[in-house]
Chain A
Amino acid sequence: MQNVRIIDIKESVFANNDAAAESLRQKLREEKTFLLNLMSSPGSGKTTTVLRTLETLHEQFRIGVLEADIDSTVDAEKVLSAGIQAVQLHTGGLCHLDAGMTADGLKGLDTQNLDLVILENIGNLVCPAEFDTGASKNAMILSVPEGDDKPLKYPLMFSKCDALIINKIDCLPYFDFDLEAVKKRVSVLNPDINIFAISAKTGEGVKDWCHWLRDEIMSWNRT
């Protein structure tokens, strides 16, 4: 019988993707392009939030949008009709984007002449949290109708984001959603996270979110 040898590896399962993400981040840094990875559940108001953000920031920055969707062009069409460069990535049945797919998608945008690219990731709170896309910063949206228990159910997503947008706060009177409880739960998972309560529909709170994003873009593009 042959000898069995045990080899210690201790390598992160995401080592390959992490390396690809780091090289994409480096390239974007050299091009002075800020990539925002925006994640959420389906129906959280991602596209509406993106449109509000474009409305606020389009005069100051040259912006492009990368829409990842399982199979439709609805989101990209909405963004294009707002006069912004947009590319729709069709991911088929895939549940997340990784750094390789993001880099491929970015080839469809003129990133050298853009200050900000918003990546609208696939609507899912589980899988996208695992894969570094190469983004400069990660943000997520939790909308009021989804419930205040989501940080308990999807802790990884909340622990990986730099910013949390709590959307649809105009609906707060109609739901048992405890905003303070969410803030407390999220701060345990992620003490450094920036939380913005907004309504993409009415525009409430959008200014603070855009202010944070503007500062992040400016500090990224300066270095």
Chain B
Amino acid sequence: MHELSVMRNILQIAVNFAEKQNACEIVRITVTAGTVVNIVPYYAKLFFKMIAKDTIAQNAALDFNLVPAAILCSSCGVKTQFEVGSMLFSCPSCGSDCVQLVSGRELRVESIEII
């Protein structure tokens, strides 16, 4: 549901950078998103199309690099990925409870391709 605010920010960041480069068009925007962040690419793309109309990004492709969520065990040092919804609360490798969420919370505009 918050995809609209997120897409507004993404559009603004991309257009700001593109204008600084005197670009006339943005052809691709690549976004890195952790799976814990709950961005649904289907809606993100839909909202992006709506808000990018009449901007230099209106024809831009929107690519998502999804970063899997993972925990890191501080006992044995093993990093284990998991699906959101079946989160791990102990290390599958050694059984220790001393684990921390170390990836999956990323959300950034990685790069743009401009003409």
Q: Give the nearest-CB partner of A94 in chain B.
A: B5
- Chain A contacts for B1, CB-based, 8 A: 95, 124, 126-127
Interface size band for B: 35 or more
Please encode chain A, from 125 to 147, with 1 for each CB lying within 8 Å of some chain B CB and 0 for all others. 01100110000000000000000
Please encode chain A, from 107 to 122, with 1 for each CB lying within 8 Å of some chain B CB and 0 for all others. 0000000000000000
Q: Give the nearest-CB partner of A126 in chain B.
A: B38
Given known A130-B37, A153-B85, A155-B84, contact A11–B109 (CB-CB < 8 A)? yes
Given known A5-B113, A98-B5, A153-B85, contact A13–B36 (CB-CB < 8 A)? no
- Does chain B have a CB within 8 A of A17? yes
Once the chains bind, are B5 and A96 in contact (CB under 8 Å)? Answer: yes
Could you tell me the distance between the alpha carbons of A111 and B72 in the complex, rounded to whole angstroms?
42
**Distance (whole angstroms) from the CB of B22 to the closest CB of chain A:** 10
Q: Give the nearest-CB partner of A185 in chain B.
A: B89
- Chain B contacts for A81, CB-based, 8 A: none
- Chain B contacts for A151, CB-based, 8 A: 87
Interface size band for A: 35 or more
Most chain A beta-carbon neighbours within 10 Å: one of B5, B10, B88, B111 = B5
Once the chains bind, are A4 and B27 in contact (CB under 8 Å)? Answer: yes
Most chain B beta-carbon neighbours within 10 Å: one of A5, A9, A95 = A9
Could you tell me the distance between the alpha carbons of A9 and B19 in the complex, rounded to whole angstroms?
13
Once the chains bind, are B105 and A159 in contact (CB under 8 Å)? Answer: yes
Could you tell me the distance between the alpha carbons of A104 and B100 in the complex, rounded to whole angstroms?
36
Q: Which of A5, A124, A155 contacts B36 (CB 8 A)?
A: A155
- Does chain B have a CB within 8 A of A191? yes
Once the chains bind, are A188 and B100 in contact (CB under 8 Å)? Answer: yes
**Distance (whole angstroms) from the CB of A3 to the closest CB of chain B:** 7
Q: Which of B13, B38, B112 contacts A15 (CB 8 A)?
A: B13
CB-CB nearest 3 A-B residue pairs: A127-B2, A95-B1, A2-B115
Q: Which residues of B contact A (CB under 8 A)?
A: 1-2, 5-6, 9-10, 12-14, 17-18, 21, 23, 27, 31, 36-38, 69, 71, 84-89, 97, 99-101, 104-105, 107-115
